[in-house]
Structure 1
Amino acid sequence: MVLSDYYGRRVLVSRLLTPSRPDITVMPTMKVTATTVRCLRCNAVSSKKSAALPHQQYYCRHCLQLGRVSTLDQFYHAEEPNQFPVQKHPLSWRGRLSPLQSRVSATICQGMNDHQRQLLWAVTGAGKTEMIFSGLADAIARGERVAVASPRVDVCLELFPRLQKAFAGVPIALLHGRQEEKYHYRQLTICTTHQLLRFYHAFDNLVVDEVDAFPYAANEALLFATKQAVKEDGGILMMTATPGPVLLREARQQEMAVSYLPLRYHGYPLPQIDERLVGNWRKQLHRGRLPLVVYRQIEQWTTTKQRFLLFVPHVADLEPIAAALKKTCPSLKLTTVYAADPQRLAKVAAMRQHQVQALVTTTILERGVTFPGIDLGVLGADAPVFSSSALVQIAGRAGRAKERPTGKVCFWVSSCCRNVNEARRQIAALNRRGKRLRNELSLM
């Protein structure tokens, strides 16, 4: 038994076993009442009937993807001791922040030092990751255990090499559901928000990126996991470009400190949406073709070798659309990707390494993933699956590179609709705020 495997963790062990050392605490997995069963990992409550196993034993069906929790098991836990080597200068990143980014970074540093509950509200492409580097570095220098969590595996995979480079001398753990490498105790952890369900009072400071994204937003189990993963006096920094109504209400009521940045790191505005009506495109797709206006734009991208993402409403749309494109644009090297795609990670990596020119994708790539210099299109942007906040995030994939701070964003719709109009309104409002901020700075 390696004791460090249990630091700040709740590890499932059969109830038939007993701890082999006194510094391991045994904790129950379920709380059973006369009529209900509550899981102490995800906090879900079930009726006894729905959670029943033979011989009056019970399990939780809500967090099965992390391994079955039942009354036949128990948790092993060891209190987090912060046993890390002293690192006075852990940050190896030598980049420079803009004056606005530096101001936000200083606020975040102070909040993490005070273990506050904070919100970083910044537009897509503002450089949120770079703005937390100093806060993470100070926490590591203090000997604290810290984590950066995101609802999306793709975001974690993008963050990992960036943080490895920024903190070259700090061992980092990467945890997600598809990870095959054995868990190791580390001072800095990057993980999906589902992996937080495995921790208990582990982190002195926790950063949660893309807090409004599925499946984190409004997921009671993951919100519970966030609170459980942090020490009782620990701090939480939430980051997003599109905060939902709950976060906005908490911000208005001053229940958390808020840092706001409506400008991208390179100072350019968010790309405006080019909305085009295409009629009943599904009827055309059934005949193996797409609307002419869509083809013309994709032919232009193909000819100029401009890389792009094409978002579609449903998984079932991926193959027919890809087939139609390959027939009309045979030189276009593309592939499809969706959440449950077994080759998802490899395909995203191929796009990142310029091995393909285009990805036809669902909303799985709407946020947190950066492909510098891309354009994008959304076919069926008026579909209910695309919320206004999702469309803002999708539009924000373009224009992120300093070398190409602008980009084309095409939304093809069957009819005018509220979600697209709201997305355009939000982008226009953010750009107005950013312009005012630039003007204020120029007068200083």
Structure 2
Amino acid sequence: MELNELYGRLLLDTEVPADLKKELIKNSRPALIQHENYIECQRCLSKTLKNKARLPNGAYYCPKCILLGRVASNNKLYHLPEKNLFSSLECSPLVWQGKLSLFQQQCSDQLRKAVDRSGEYLMWAVTGAGKTEMLFPTLEKVLLQRKRVCLASPRVDVCNELYPRICTAFTAIDPVLLHGHSKKSYHYSQLTICTTHQLLRFLGAFDLLIIDEVDAFPFTNNEMLKQAARRALKPNGTLIFLTATPTQELLGKIERHQLAASYLPLRFHRHLLPVPQVWFCGRWQDKMYCQKLPVKLKSELNRWIDEGFPFLVFVSRLELLAPVLRVLEANLPAKAKGDSVFSADPKRINKVQEMRDHKLNYLVTTTILERGVTFPSLNVMVLGADEKTFSTTALVQIAGRAGRSQKRPNGDVIFVCTDQVKNVRKAVKQIRELNKKGKRLLNG
């Protein structure tokens, strides 16, 4: 480990080599603070009752951030203030040759101005609006200013998709990719791409922190991760939120004029969002368990295969993955290759990549792929869209997986239900309303 790998970082003594610990003893602090009835973790700032955090040897640990390595009362944390020791760039690091549309450019310009001041800013754009490309001019600006930047997301898949796109667009920068499944080692970089959990390892590091899919689990409603984001940012830094489906909290801040925002209700290719078809299919689960695929569903999936379009089939529960995959394998042509994927799947990253590489025609998935992944010319089917697992936001995001390609901007989206409940009605209504706003934008 080099000394600069501690700049802006907050690391356990178990993560720091012995020779550096000796040199940086003045830069250490207790990892846990003990109070009368509870302990307070200095990495994640969570408080836990002592009787729920006691180890067999009488010491205490923090159960809230255990996934990043155990923090115990005998540990210390090490930190060096961020110094922005980055070389001046002789020319622009942005080599992307694409061109933003008029509406994208307007949004991008607003974002570029937002980083001139500290505080928070929201970019609210529909799925497929091209948020990543709209970020490029802002990233170019702050990188030329030798500022340190982080792109964070609650989802590993989003980080894995962002990383190669950023590397291709900014060839003069060597970004670091951080998440629990990443095989890349940490290095001091002007540009970090990471999951929001990794922000727990930073302190006052970033001049600009961008959180993509800010409304996604596990960031949304997670005070620990929100505190981690605020702490990872420099006191005078800028925090930008990106989303297609803002939370009520964010909308409330906009209404109270506590949060500035830019808004784009139109996709990058200037086509409207695909409006879901709602199909009613009673007892579809019973038929699946009997290795039968309802005739209407079988006909549609076969059409997708004949037309050569990849597709995702969403299910509401883990236990449905295997039976749905089996019935698809039994009823669809042998040439159609499929698999299933879920959040804790050890082969999750590989399977998503196989889908991108056209080695798989379809994936049966949980809501883990509801956002942050892009497959060209995709179709989407949601089995049991009327179940509680699929919130209105989730259904809007899922529908947004389709129609993201310039070559095929109008993919098929099918919600299979036994009842048209509130979440389904609201999702379809929201998409229609977004399309009305998009039409008004197109018509000037």
Same fold (TM over 0.5): yes
What residue in structure 1 maps to residue 427 of structure 2?
Answer: 423
Quote how far apart the aligned CAs of 1:31 are: 2.1
After superposition, the C-alpha distances for 1:317-364 in whole angstroms (9 at most, x for unaligned) are 111111111111132211111111111100000000111111111111
Matched, 1:302 2:289: no
Quote how far apart the aligned CAs of 1:28 are: 2.1
Matched, 1:82 2:84: yes
What residue in structure 1 maps to residue 180 of structure 2?
Answer: 177
Structure 1 distance, partners of 2:385, 2:17, is 54
Native 8 Å contact 2:13 2:21 kept in 1: no
Residues 244-259 of structure 1: pairs in structure 2 closer than 5 A: 244-259=247-262
Matched, 1:435 2:442: no
Query: Alpha carbons of 1:22 and 1:307: their partners in 2 closer, same or farther (altered >3 Å)?
Result: closer
What residue in structure 1 maps to residue 22 of structure 2?
Answer: 20
What residue in structure 2 maps to residue 276 of structure 1?
Answer: 279
- Choose which of 168, 171, 193 in structure 1 pairs with 2:171: 168
Q: Tell me the SS of whatever aligns to 1:69.
A: coil
Structure 1 distance, partners of 2:208, 2:71, is 27
Q: 1:8 corresponds to which letter in structure 2?
A: G
What residue in structure 1 maps to residue 373 of structure 2?
Answer: 369
- Choose which of 282, 286, 289 in structure 2 pairs with 1:286: 289
Q: 2:52 corresponds to which letter in structure 1?
A: S
What residue in structure 2 maps to residue 133 of structure 1?
Answer: 136
After superposition, the C-alpha distances for 1:46-98 in whole angstroms (9 at most, x for unaligned) are 11111113565211001100000111101110010001111141111111001
What residue in structure 2 maps to residue 39 of structure 1?
Answer: 41
Query: Alpha carbons of 1:256 and 1:62: their partners in 2 closer, same or farther (altered >3 Å)?
Result: same
Instruction: Pick which of 83-92 and 201-210 moved more.
Output: 83-92
What residue in structure 1 maps to residue 66 of structure 2?
Answer: 64
Structure 1 distance, partners of 2:330, 2:252, is 50
Matched, 1:334 2:338: yes
- Choose which of 28, 31, 53 in structure 2 pairs with 1:29: 31
Structure 2 distance, partners of 1:342, 1:51, is 29
What residue in structure 2 maps to residue 156 of structure 1?
Answer: 159
Quote how far apart the aligned CAs of 1:374 are: 0.8
Q: 1:425 corresponds to which letter in structure 2?
A: K
Instruction: Pick which of 192-201 and 178-187 moved more.
Output: 178-187
Quote how far apart the aligned CAs of 1:305 are: 2.0
Quote how far apart the aligned CAs of 1:22 are: 4.9
Quote how far apart the aligned CAs of 1:247 are: 0.7
Native 8 Å contact 1:116 1:257 kept in 2: no
Matched, 1:265 2:268: yes
What residue in structure 2 maps to residue 11 of structure 1?
Answer: 11
Q: 2:404 corresponds to which letter in structure 1?
A: R
Matched, 1:345 2:341: no
Quote how far apart the aligned CAs of 1:115 are: 3.0
Q: Tell me the SS of whatever aligns to 2:415.
A: strand
Structure 2 distance, partners of 1:387, 1:439, is 32
Matched, 1:48 2:43: no
Quote how far apart the aligned CAs of 1:291 are: 1.8
Instruction: Pick which of 226-235 and 86-95 moved more.
Output: 86-95
Structure 2 distance, partners of 1:101, 1:321, is 40
- Choose which of 383, 387, 393 in structure 2 pairs with 1:383: 387
Quote how far apart the aligned CAs of 1:180 are: 2.6
What residue in structure 1 maps to residue 242 of structure 2?
Answer: 239
Q: 1:74 corresponds to which letter in structure 2?
A: K
Paired residues in the alignment total 440
Structure 1 distance, partners of 2:169, 2:365, is 30
- Choose which of 119, 124, 143 in structure 2 pairs with 1:121: 124
Q: 2:81 corresponds to which letter in structure 1?
A: E
Q: 1:204 corresponds to which letter in structure 2?
A: D
After superposition, the C-alpha distances for 1:354-393 in whole angstroms (9 at most, x for unaligned) are 1111111111100010001111111111111000000000
Quote how far apart the aligned CAs of 1:286 are: 2.1
Structure 1 distance, partners of 2:118, 2:97, is 26
Instruction: Pick which of 222-231 and 11-20 moved more.
Output: 11-20
Q: Tell me the SS of whatever aligns to 2:434.
A: helix
Native 8 Å contact 1:59 1:71 kept in 2: yes
Matched, 1:413 2:417: yes
Q: 2:31 corresponds to which letter in structure 1?
A: T
Gaps of 5+ in 1: none
Quote how far apart the aligned CAs of 1:220 are: 1.1
TM-score norm. by structure 2 comes to 0.96
Q: 2:7 corresponds to which letter in structure 1?
A: Y
What residue in structure 2 maps to residue 221 of structure 1?
Answer: 224
Native 8 Å contact 1:290 1:324 kept in 2: yes
Q: 2:361 corresponds to which letter in structure 1?
A: Q
Native 8 Å contact 2:38 2:48 kept in 1: yes
Native 8 Å contact 1:23 1:78 kept in 2: no
Q: Tell me the SS of whatever aligns to 2:404.
A: coil
Quote how far apart the aligned CAs of 1:24 are: 6.0
What residue in structure 2 maps to residue 103 of structure 1?
Answer: 106
Gaps of 5+ in 2: none
Aligned-pair RMSD on alpha carbons? 1.5
After superposition, the C-alpha distances for 1:179-207 in whole angstroms (9 at most, x for unaligned) are 23321110001001111111111000000
Q: 2:47 corresponds to which letter in structure 1?
A: V
Structure 1 distance, partners of 2:377, 2:30, is 51
Q: 1:136 corresponds to which letter in structure 2?
A: L
Structure 2 distance, partners of 1:224, 1:438, is 40
- Choose which of 140, 143, 147 in structure 1 pairs with 2:146: 143
Instruction: Pick which of 13-22 and 274-283 moved more.
Output: 13-22
Q: Tell me the SS of whatever aligns to 1:57.
A: coil
